[in-house]
Structure 1
Amino acid sequence: MFERFTDRARQVVRGAVSASEQMGHRHVGTEHLLLGMLAGDGGVAHTVLNRAGVRAEEVKVQIERFLGQDAEALEAIGIDLEAVKAKIEETFGPGAMDALDRPPRRGWFRRRAVGEGHRPFTPRAKKVLELSLREALALKNNYIGTEHLLLGLIREGKGLAAKILADTGLDLVELREQTIAAVPRK
């Protein structure tokens, strides 16, 4: 499927991985794909999102707000995450929490080889990539461009990126129509 991606669509995916790294996240989600579309010159998706008033800085703030809610929710019921981490390290030794970052064991005492800095795509992000292919086929395009990635993200509709777009007041149906109207015709 990636062989059908345009250079700009590949830049979006690389930008998503980079955004995940910069934000210190262990995954690449729909929110990171959205940031990838907003980074630099993301092609049609970048243009459509900018016209709609979507800005990377605001998206980053919303991502941090949503992904930081777990710690805040635990604090609200009296659980201090830092105290829990300290107790775990006191009980099991320094670096005990690092074991959670290691890949799962495979076979006899071996670990699955994962490249340094590897960040897996979430199921929703994978679905967006799959839907981008379907969107390209539906539009009778033989390539997957940034416009198809945006259409896939909108069509998936349940990820953090879609929530952020909807929370900014955007109508996803209207954004979809604007994106389709911006698709280059041959």
Structure 2
Amino acid sequence: MFERLTKDARAVIEGAVAHARGGGARTVEAEHVLLAVLDSEGSRASFALSALGLGESRDAVREAVGEARRRAGLTRAEADALAGLGIDVREVVARVEEAHGVGAMAGESGSPGWWGGGRPRFG
């Protein structure tokens, strides 16, 4: 099936896998695909994102994705909603990372997962 994709689409998939691998994720998620599309300058998808104003904010998008992963995938809106209930997500993240290391809530682990072989899983 992979060979039926366009050259640009294959490059995005490969880039998404690389982003997931680099972040220690066990599955390729939407944020990995988004980062790969932002990296694929000159593609139609990259052009579309640039037209929406995301092209110039590539670094901000990367930072936001990294912060969301540290919050176990919670969006800022969800963190704000929890704050309204008296739950400080930043404090929760800080305490978990203090006990278990940076990135603990992101599900990052030292185990090779599917990187040691086999096919990547997409979430």
**TM-score between the two structures when normalised by the length of structure 2:** 0.61
Equivalences for residues 153-168 of structure 1 within 5 A = none
Tell me which residue corresponds to 1:76. Answer: 92
Equivalences for residues 25-174 of structure 1 within 5 A = 25-41=25-41, 43-55=43-55, 56-70=58-72, 73=89, 75-76=91-92, 80-82=95-97, 84-85=99-100, 101=111, 114-116=114-116, 119-122=120-123
Tell me which residue corresponds to 1:24. Answer: 24
User: Deviations for 1:63-96, whole angstroms, at most 9, x for unmatched residues?
Assistant: 11211114x738339x83245449xxxxxxxxxx
Cα distance in 1 for residues equivalent to 2:91 and 2:117: 30
Q: Is the 8 A contact 2:17 2:32 kept in 1?
A: yes
Q: How many residues align?
A: 99
Cα distance in 1 for residues equivalent to 2:97 and 2:49: 38
Instruction: Calculate the aligned-residue CA RMSD, in Å.
Output: 3.2
Q: Matched residue of 1:9: which SS? A: helix
Q: Which has the larger radius of gyration?
A: 1
Identical aligned residues as a percent: 29
